[in-house]
Amino acid sequence: MHPELHISHRDETGWTVVEIHGEIDVASVPQIREHVLTCIEAGRHRLIVDLMEVPFIDSTGLGVLVSIAKRIRTHVGDLRLVITNPDILQIFHITSLHRALPIYDSVEAAME
């Protein structure tokens, strides 16, 4: 378990909001993957992943988000990200992942 990582989820208005607090890196990805896959296996196929409290994400973290998106799409679900950190947003733009993974500036906006 990554000591600086906190993951929680809540069901809200037809969506499951997964909040991640801490760095998303090679050490934390297994815990994140397990938590989110548990949600998907429980039938939660409309996910909003709240990354507002994530100060850093590496390529392993990006990979797990893409993997989660693919898994959700096999269930005809939807994955949306909430990102407000300019450094994290820049990574998504540099990698062009913003084209594949919808990004919003708040959980409320992602639910619309």
CATH number for 42: 3.30.750.24
Domain total in the chain? 1
What domain range includes position 20? 6-111
Residue 69 lies in a domain: yes
What does the alpha-carbon distance between residue 17 and residue 25 come to, in Å, rounded to a whole number?
20
Beta strands in the chain (DSSP E): 6-12, 15-21, 46-53, 78-82, 103-104
Residue 106 lies in a domain: yes
Q: Note the pLDDT of residue 1.
A: 53
Residue 65 lies in a domain: yes
Q: Note the pLDDT of residue 4.
A: 86
58 falls in which pLDDT band (50, 70, 90)? very high
What does the alpha-carbon distance between residue 35 and residue 80 come to, in Å, rounded to a whole number?
16
